Structure 1
Amino acid sequence: MDMARIPTVNLNLPKGMRKRKQRSGKTYYYLETGTDKRKEISLGDDYYEAIKKYADAKQTNTENVAVLTLKDALTAYFKSRKYLDLAERTRDDYKACEPKILEFFNDPPAVLETIEASHIQEFMEWRGAESKRRANYEHSVISIAWNYARRKGLTNKPNPCEGVPKFELKARDVYVDDDVYLAVYEMACDPVRDAMDIAYLSGQRPADVFKMDETAIKDGFLNIVQNKTKAKLRLRVEADLKIVIDRILERKRKNPVYSLALICDEKGKRITQDAIAQRFRKIRKKVITKYPKMATVLRNFQFRDLRAKSATDIFEKEDIKRAQALLGHTDPETTEIYVRSVSGQQVSPTLPSTKIRSAIISRAS
């Protein structure tokens, strides 16, 4: 008499569902029909869609046929068009959150239906002990993946991240003064100098700086579509910005490789934001050795601070509207908050009464 074999693998697959890895490396899922010929119905190569098709075939709900974990939800989201349509930098940032999330929630694997708000709170306390900022970011990624899983019908359980507060963090308030800027600039290589010049003169976020191409320069304007907000800017290529771009183009013509990217390495190839960041950190260490009295401010100087320097310098020399336009903010109040966080709000001294003013003047004469 034949006895059914007790499964020891693929325990997240419901009864009658099988998976097979093909020579191509892809895994496909099948539903046994129960006929004598062991006929199977193909459910495709996507696990989550296969579970839904299985549930439809069995006329039941997905939570009744599969043990879906938080890892499953993350995997589903990272394969989704919603994720793939994000900017490359955002995708990389989201994916970088996965290891720590799984370190906490995948040993053993945490089933979606068992995760409560209290578990998210425990994660925040555990992760926050190392980095509150990263804990907040990973909280967001868990929430995004969970909401995606709900929309796809992988779970009906409410998002446990709701009601679990993130850490309150102080806004970054670093202003890079000219001496600090020039100390780094003095020892920087050409690609880093190019990147610093373009970032400061354009006032754009690093991600937008490193995607700039020659093809975006038309009729005397550098056309920019910001990754984060999708705001469109037409930046006049004039004055110092024109000097910098002309200098870059002239040097690029001498390189063995010609790339359309504005920021290139010494061979003429497009250089990434991460590559410049690595060079920037090495240069900063050398500058600290040369100028030990500036060590504290130099350690606080990050490439992204050039956007704040640009906005602050424009605000102090001109007005908030000019700074707002360059940064691409829709609301001037956003620019004011941004600028004041790094340089402080501009205020006037007390206007004294006539008697007190007379006393002050008499002491000065």
Structure 2
Amino acid sequence: MVTYYFYDRRLLGEPDLPLGTDFDEAIKKWDELHNQAPRLIGTLEEAFARWEKEVLPTYTSRETVKGYTKNLRTIRPVFKDSTWDQVDLPAIKSYLKARTAKTQGNREMSLLSIIWNWARGEGLTRLPWPAAGMERSKWKNKETPRRMVVFDELFEAVYNEGDQLLRDCMDLSTATGMRLTDCINVLMPRTESLRLEASKTGKEADYDLNVSQVLPGLITRRKSIKATHMFLLSTMDGKRVTHGMLRYRYDQARNHAYVKAAIANDDEFMRQIRRMVLRDMRKRAAQLAGGLDEASALLQHDDKRLTQRHYGAVAKLKPTR
């Protein structure tokens, strides 16, 4: 006969926790859980701790892990001591109202909903996410998409001040619509197509190199570099490219372009240069596309409204007369 031991959580309305079959080990686990019960068991901290340990490491995107870690660090002190029934819709709306960084507050609530729904699946709570079914009530902070038109003169002002690596990155992103992370991690093509597996969505795409004005030259330059890696972007001495390398190069090029605009006393152009960031090259790709449908396909969006809202792509119509 085998005896199984459990930690009784029925008074909390939660399923019991298995402690195993070894009596001594079960006593140790019971003592750990019981002594922590007022602080951990039945609170959101129980879910935060387990999700951080069990789920967060499974994300393959470094940017996703970085963003979730930052958001968890912000919401944890606020909600960790709360029991599940204490976190209702008024509570999360109050959090958003008090948050000074309104858009970031929305991202934090998105993470909280992810952890909450995961916790339901793990039996940590039976309560549904407090805002479930409330999408049309507009309970989140209002967001205004960042509008940025990367016109030719603006692009060229920074592009001309960059070194070859920065130019190659800007060419790659504006030609394909790739995110910066994908530009860094895309492999050298083995055929006449450049294969992408998007780090954020996992979607795959092939870009026909024969119809590109800039990609063949980029690939030719890359083949002339003796590198120990197979990534398309590379430093001239054969090293892998990092976000830090590109950020430094972009900041330097943008500063030089800004100084030139200042010398010309062009205040508006100075403002535009200062406002443009490297990830705006993806916006330029959408703006260079032949229309909304083409831009949406290039950016691999399932919904054209997303392309139109966040990337400024518009339908190009032909007048009837």
TM-score tier after normalising by the smaller chain length: 0.7 to 0.9
Q: Of 29, 41, 46, which residue of structure 1 is paired with 2:26?
A: 41
Partner of 2:284: 309
Partner of 2:12: none
Give the distance between the partners of 1:322 and 1:194, measured in 2 at CA: 23
Q: What displacement does 1:221 show?
A: 1.0
Q: Of 178, 182, 185, which residue of structure 1 is paired with 2:156?
A: 182
Q: Which moved more, 1:286-295 or 1:191-200?
A: 286-295
Q: Is the 8 A contact 1:213 1:260 kept in 2?
A: yes
Structure 1's 281 and 40: CA in aligned 2 closer, same or farther, altered over 3 A? same
Residues 200-220 of structure 1: CA deviation (Å, up to 9, x unaligned): 111222222221122xx1221
Q: Is the 8 A contact 1:113 1:155 kept in 2?
A: no
> Is 1:221 aligned with 2:193?
yes
> Is 1:235 aligned with 2:220?
no
Partner of 1:337: 308
Residues 74-99 of structure 1: CA deviation (Å, up to 9, x unaligned): 22222234761443321221112122
Higher relative contact order (CA 8 A, sep 6+): 2
Give the distance between the partners of 1:314 and 1:228, measured in 2 at CA: 22
Partner of 2:104: 134
Give the distance between the partners of 1:287 and 1:198, measured in 2 at CA: 21
Partner of 1:3: none
Give the distance between the partners of 1:330 and 1:291, measured in 2 at CA: 39
Q: Is the 8 A contact 2:84 2:125 kept in 1?
A: yes
**What's the secondary structure of 2:26's corresponding residue?**
strand
Partner of 2:3: none
Partner of 1:93: 67
Normalised TM-score (structure 1): 0.68
Structure 1's 149 and 142: CA in aligned 2 closer, same or farther, altered over 3 A? same
Structure 1's 213 and 66: CA in aligned 2 closer, same or farther, altered over 3 A? same
Aligned partner letter, 1:40: E
After TM superposition, the structure 1 = structure 2 runs for residues 95-110 of structure 1, keeping only pairs within 5 Å, are 95-106=69-80, 109-110=81-82
Q: What displacement does 1:298 show?
A: 1.1
After TM superposition, the structure 1 = structure 2 runs for residues 240-255 of structure 1, keeping only pairs within 5 Å, are 240-250=214-224, 252-253=225-226
Structure 2 unaligned segments of length 5 or more: list them: 1-6, 9-16
Aligned partner letter, 2:176: S
Residues 34-68 of structure 1: CA deviation (Å, up to 9, x unaligned): 98xxx333888xx9xx96xx9xxxxxxxx999634
Q: What displacement does 1:321 show?
A: 4.8
Give the distance between the partners of 1:100 and 1:81, measured in 2 at CA: 18
Cα-Cα RMSD: 3.6
Partner of 1:195: 169
Q: What displacement does 1:112 show?
A: 3.3
Structure 1's 65 and 207: CA in aligned 2 closer, same or farther, altered over 3 A? closer
Partner of 1:283: 253
Give the distance between the partners of 1:103 and 1:289, measured in 2 at CA: 43
Give the distance between the partners of 2:309 and 2:222, measured in 1 at CA: 30
Normalised TM-score (structure 2): 0.77
Identity, % of aligned positions: 24
**What's the secondary structure of 2:215's corresponding residue?**
helix
Partner of 2:113: 143
Q: Is the 8 A contact 2:40 2:46 kept in 1?
A: no
Q: Which has the larger radius of gyration?
A: 1
> Is 1:328 aligned with 2:300?
yes
Aligned partner letter, 2:127: K
Residues 9-49 of structure 1: CA deviation (Å, up to 9, x unaligned): xxxxx89xxxxxxxxxxxxx9969998xxx333888xx9xx
Partner of 2:186: 212
> Is 1:124 aligned with 2:83?
no
Q: What displacement does 1:328 show?
A: 2.5
Partner of 1:357: none
